[in-house]
Amino acid sequence: MTSNRPMRDEYDVAVIGAGPAGLAAASLSAQSGLSTLLLDENQGPGGQVWRAVTSTPLKQTRLLGDDYWAGSKLVEEVRASGAEILQGATVWSLDPHLELGISVGGGSQFIRARRVILATGALERPFPIPGWTLPGVMTAGAAQTVLKSSGLVPSGKTVVAGQGPLFWLLTAQILRMGGQIDLILDTTQRLNYLRALPHAAAFLRSPYLLKGLAMMREVRSKVRVVSGVTKIAASGDGRLERVTYEVRGRSATAPADLLLLHQGVVPNVNLAMSAGVKHQWDEIQLCWVPVLDSNCGTSVDGIAIAGDGAGIAGVLAAVARGRIAARAAVEALKPEAGAKAPSMDTLRAALAKVERGRRFLDVLFQPPKQFRIPEGDTVVCRCEEVTAQDILDSVAIGATGPNQLKAYRRTGMGPCQGRLCGLTVTELMADARGKTPEEIGYYRLRAPVKPITLSELASLPKDESATKAVVRG
């Protein structure tokens, strides 16, 4: 059922995020008879990959493809499962005792859960090129979001730049919808084709291979694709006017009203890290991933992570991991109900199958250093408007890592809380100091992980001891 605020104070399982992993987890958990709350920040279920699957104006199956519509089946499943579904709900705190702070409709409250499954997914890797803060520069995912949820397609001169499997999916979708793309700048490193070769055998059996190749062919037949791009800069007076790029040392410029950037996705770590979940640097995916056991359990007892937040593996793996995390919760809380659900061995085999060939994609689409570690006056922290050179200057006078850097430059202290600069800051400081990203570390994240107003905090229900702690007399 869909509700407007949590109907209880305590649940067996709270699932955060209604994308593929969260839908699968909530569904299996509720079907097993556990009281289940599914929380999601958007107005409808689906997450990013199935965004607006219940409300999109693009009703024709062909336009978004069968893989998109597969999401509606899982939405129906969770709606029939008995899970309580809360849309438009922002989870702004999660502590190691499994208490969640939830903001919905401008008011906040706390609930408790016996198990928490984080399915907060991924976000697009920062793409800090000169001019990336100009109006008219967006992520490719942003264009995909407005396409799915509002049927908006690019109409002016449009350049798409970057790489990765989603990059080709998005360009194909825009073109099918009659959107305009004038130029595609492919930043895949030529060297990566060789480096990925040892992993090619596994990828040949991946469900993504044929779809990917067909999509690339479709796009290449309609739009000019420039490969081997090693530099990109956006420029214009108060808004984007042109994109300058370099191939084999030769520079070219294209006029542009819209530049869509994408170089892969990375786990959205904010809520998990703020709950104290241990993460480590992934040398291949070049991002932080949580340390997980084979049940998707984290270093914090009772908290599991499923979906791309557990390490990027795509939609099919997200569904499989969601079921594994939920099955583990059922085994812990209500083992007798487990007989109805698929066995853990079956679920793990399903995950192994869809993870096949992932390493090939990870290596092939590992983004080049110059697009991860910017230089000079390129903005790194969009919120506080801090440049790469500002950060290097701070390192030169003693800033050792991202947390010290906050005191020097306020990086990561703006409203996005490091989501758009964190990885860049870690890699930039590691590079400047000759350390590994693991040694440099990441921002220490704390609740509230999304900004909420002071009045919302103040109107939270208080017990007597909390009042006595601050009121005199």
Partner 1 sequence: MFKRFDGDARQPVEIFVDGRPVMAREGDTVSAALLASGLDVRRQTAVSGAPRLPYCMMGVCFDCLVTIDGMGNRQGCLVPVRPGMQVEIQKGKREIGR
Residues that bind partner 1 (CB under 8 A): 41-43, 48, 52, 55, 57-60, 88, 123-124, 133-139, 141-143, 145-147, 149-156, 177-178, 238-239, 257-258, 268, 382-385, 414-416, 419-420, 451
CA distance 170 to 142: 10
User: Please, which residue, 142 or 247, has the CB nearer to partner 1?
Assistant: 142
User: Residue 36 CB, nearest distance to partner 1 (Å)?
Assistant: 23
Residue with tokens 């990566």, as numbered in its chain: 192
* Token pair in block for residue 385: 């408007």
Spatial CB neighbours of 198, under 8 Å, sequence gap ≥ 6: none
CB 242 within 8 A of CB 255: yes
CA distance 311 to 265: 10
Residue with tokens 């930039």, as numbered in its chain: 428
Residue with tokens 């004038």, as numbered in its chain: 182
- The distance between the two most distant Cα atoms of the chain, rounded to a whole number of Å, is 77
User: Residue 4 CB, nearest distance to partner 1 (Å)?
Assistant: 14
CA distance 75 to 90: 20
User: Residue 442 CB, nearest distance to partner 1 (Å)?
Assistant: 16
User: Residue 149 CB, nearest distance to partner 1 (Å)?
Assistant: 7
User: Residue 268 CB, nearest distance to partner 1 (Å)?
Assistant: 7
CA distance 283 to 286: 5
CA distance 110 to 459: 12
Nearest by Cα to 259 from 126, 130, 123, 132: 132
CB 313 within 8 A of CB 281: no
CB 151 within 8 A of CB 57: yes
C-alpha distances (whole Å) from 331 to each of 62, 73, 137, 339 are 40, 25, 47, 10
User: Residue 34 CB, nearest distance to partner 1 (Å)?
Assistant: 28
CA distance 466 to 43: 34
User: Residue 305 CB, nearest distance to partner 1 (Å)?
Assistant: 17
User: Residue 334 CB, nearest distance to partner 1 (Å)?
Assistant: 33
Question: Residue 390's Cα: distance from chain center in Å?
Answer: 27
DSSP state of 342: P
CA distance 114 to 37: 11
User: Please, which residue, 111 or 379, has the CB nearer to partner 1?
Assistant: 379
Q: Could you tell me if residue 463 is left (phi over 0), alpha (psi between -120 and 50 degrees) or otherwise beta?
A: beta
User: Please, which residue, 126 or 357, has the CB nearer to partner 1?
Assistant: 126
- SS3 call for 52: coil
User: Please, which residue, 159 or 324, has the CB nearer to partner 1?
Assistant: 159
User: Residue 175 CB, nearest distance to partner 1 (Å)?
Assistant: 13
User: Residue 42 CB, nearest distance to partner 1 (Å)?
Assistant: 7
